[in-house]
Amino acid sequence: MNNEKTIPTRYTESPPLGDLGGMSIFASLIKTLDSTNKTNTKVDALAQYFRIASDEDKVWTIAILSHRRPPRPVNTTLLREWASELANIPLWLFEESYHIVGDLAETIALIIPRADSNSEKSLTQYLKELIWLKKQDDAVKKEYLYENWSTLNYYERFVFSKLITGSFRIGVSQKLMTRALSKATQIDEDELAYKLMGDWDPKTVSFHDLVIEEDASQQYSRPYPFFLAYAIEEDASELGEVTDFLAEHKWDGIRSQTIFRNGEIFIWSRGEELVTDKYPELHILKDHIPDGTVIDGELLPFYDGQIGTFNDLQTRIGRKTVSKKMLKDVPVIIKAYDILEWEGKDLRETAFAKRREVLESLYSNITDKGLPIGISETMEFKSWETMAEERGRSREMRSEGLMIKRKDSPYRVGRKKGDWWKWKVDPLTIDAVLTYAMRGHGRRSNLFTDYTFGLWNDDNTELVTFAKAYSGLTDAEFRKVDAWIKKNTLDRFGPVRSVTPHHVFEIAFEGIALSKRHKSGIATRFPRILRWRQDKKIAEANSLSDLKAMIPSNAPEGQVEKEPLPPTKK
């Protein structure tokens, strides 16, 4: 054919990273992490980064990848306005693009005209500037953003915007980051995981103090890494001798670690959030439990002599300050599972059965049984069958199933197979109709994967929304449903599409309770899609009364009425 132009297609080695600024090296790391699905490649890339980056930048990288980002300096409304202004497009078009791209920072990086320069500044420098920026007025903020947006290249601009907008969800878990750091520093992974726990500030701590050698006296509020259980998928009896294990109920609250040191109390959630101030009713415990004690337990709502629902507890999770009414309506206790430190000594290498003896003796010495602490009773079984019977009583006990812990197990770091197992009750299920859909985020951007489901009302005339679910289908199924949604949209409400009621899905959930905060009057716990019932017509879907019939007869009425929803975490 004609009119061919000669197009150069030469190739050369890429420039060595050492010549670039810290931000460029970080952006290049993010690009590498982004472009692979292989864990080993990610670990290698991160380890290589930890070998070449400056100490300051390393500390910030660890902070960012363990959710210790400085507060957002510019709100997202302004970010959207300014980015669309700079890109010379109307705001509505920016919003539409954002719904499709699925990530604010990525949208900003994509719509702004391209620039090719590499930044010479360090990552630390940018973070210092962002901390400074928070206190500036809007005109200064805008000028600062414009300058950086229009000069940074695509990946740097994306990373820069990501530092402003939110957490880095790039398929790098804290565990993976710790493994890479261990590879780069030759320090044991579990030891590093412990060093990186708790309250440290990337603005002030040095890499040496954080990772290499630490000042222990500074660290008395620091929690131990949580030991997490694997789920039993097949037959529990395959775990071995039943007498090697202790079982207990798996309580449905917030897993926590409570530290008693230096006359103070620190309560940590499993997400490494310090939540001491959210549970003032627990502070009294420091007058009854000696210094040098660390307790692993579940925070549970407890009133009228019994455990409340997770739905009630949820009303307290998002709150920084707690009203008197809430303290009265949803008082919280600690149900203790384990003891990790006693008399200032780390007990984690001691066998679980021994630790339980220490815990039980501690508990029996507490004479005032009105204090907000209980103990999660352990049970011994003679056979797996009798254990299974106990598991069958879980809903009655208001637990999610059983925890099975090897008697001689140490308290390990993170999720490790072998010693601790969770044996959850089978979920409840119901057939519901797909009614609304939204595009997903991250790897599901631009695909309709976030669904709302309805059940029939009493006279089968209307579908009442009862749950949202985002997970449970295979990628191939999601693609099919996505294609169907795009062709069967009835109406659009911003990013939400209502679709022709046509598809029935079996929805599984863990728990169920009456709720005045939900339109359907019922709250389900952790709803997800179990399977796509292509064999069923919508008339065959279940009704709201079918769902109500699943509520256990001894279930408590939700304690909290008409409380606004806590801010949802993304």
Partner 1 sequence: MKQPLLEFTDKGIYCPPAKVYLDPWKPVDKALITHGHADHSRWGHKKYITHESNVPIISHRLGDINVSGVRFRESVNINNVKFTFHPAGHIPGSSQIRVEHKDEVWVFTGDYKTEIDGVSEPYEPVKCDTFITECTFGLPAFKWTPQAEVMYDINTWWAQNKAEGKCSILFAYSLGKAQRLLKHLDPSIGKIMTHGAIENMTEVLRPMLDMPATELITRDTKKEDFRGSIVLAPPSAHGSTWIRKMVPYVTASASGWMTFRGARRRRAIDKGFVMSDHCDWPALLESIEATGAEKVICTHGYTDIFSKYLRSIGYDARTEETQYEGETIVPLDPPEGEDDKSTSQKDAPIKNIVG
How many whole angstroms separate alpha carbon 174 and alpha carbon 165?
Answer: 19
For 432, residues 6+ apart whose C-beta sits below 8 A from its C-beta are 453, 454, 455, 466, 467, 504, 505, 507, 541, 542
* Helix, strand, coil in percent for the chain, rounding step 5: 40, 25, 40
Residue 246 contacts residue 390 (beta carbons within 8 Å)? no
Q: Please, which of residues 171-230 interact with partner 1 by CB under 8 A?
A: 171
Alpha helices, H only, 198-252:
207
Closest distance of CB 339 from partner 1, Å: 42
Q: Please, which of residues 506-545 interact with partner 1 by CB under 8 A?
A: none
Q: Using the rule CB under 8 A, is 5 a contact of partner 1?
A: yes
Applying CB under 8 A, which of residues 11, 321, 493, 564 lies at the interface with partner 1? 11
Closest distance of CB 77 from partner 1, Å: 19
Find where tokens 């500044």 sit: 121
Q: Using the rule CB under 8 A, is 97 a contact of partner 1?
A: yes
Q: With CB under 8 A as the contact rule, which of the stretches 360-368, 439-447, 523-531, 552-560 interacts with partner 1?
A: 439-447
4 vs 241 by CB, closer to partner 1: 4
Angle at 46 between CA 43 and CA 51, to 5 degrees: 125
Backbone conformation region of residue 474, classed left if phi is above 0, alpha if psi is from -120 to 50, else beta: beta
Q: Using the rule CB under 8 A, is 96 a contact of partner 1?
A: yes
Q: Using the rule CB under 8 A, is 441 a contact of partner 1?
A: yes
12 vs 553 by CB, closer to partner 1: 12
Closest distance of CB 150 from partner 1, Å: 14
42 vs 286 by CB, closer to partner 1: 42
Structure-block tokens of residue 15: 């420039």
- From residue 444 to residue 473, what is the string marking binding to partner 1 with x (rule CB under 8 A)? xxxx--------------------------
Q: Please, which of residues 345-364 interact with partner 1 by CB under 8 A?
A: none
Closest distance of CB 35 from partner 1, Å: 6
76 vs 206 by CB, closer to partner 1: 76
Task: Assign 3-class secondary structure to 412-452.
Answer: CCEECCCCEEEEECCCEEEEEEEEEEEEECHHHECCEEEEE
Residue 261 contacts residue 221 (beta carbons within 8 Å)? yes
In whole angstroms, what separates CA 129 from the centre of its chain? Answer: 28
Q: How far is CA 288 from CA 155, 164, 263, in A?
A: 54, 44, 11
Q: Using the rule CB under 8 A, is 103 a contact of partner 1?
A: yes
Number of residues that bind partner 1 (CB under 8 A): 52
332 vs 481 by CB, closer to partner 1: 481
How many whole angstroms separate alpha carbon 466 and alpha carbon 243?
Answer: 43
Q: Using the rule CB under 8 A, is 304 a contact of partner 1?
A: no
Residue 87 contacts residue 113 (beta carbons within 8 Å)? yes
Closest distance of CB 164 from partner 1, Å: 17
Find where tokens 């990013």 sit: 495
Closest distance of CB 98 from partner 1, Å: 9
Closest distance of CB 568 from partner 1, Å: 20
Contact residues for partner 1, defined by CB under 8 A: 1-5, 7-12, 14, 34-38, 87, 89-90, 92-94, 96-97, 100-103, 106-107, 110-111, 113-114, 171, 440-447, 474-476, 479-480, 482-483, 486
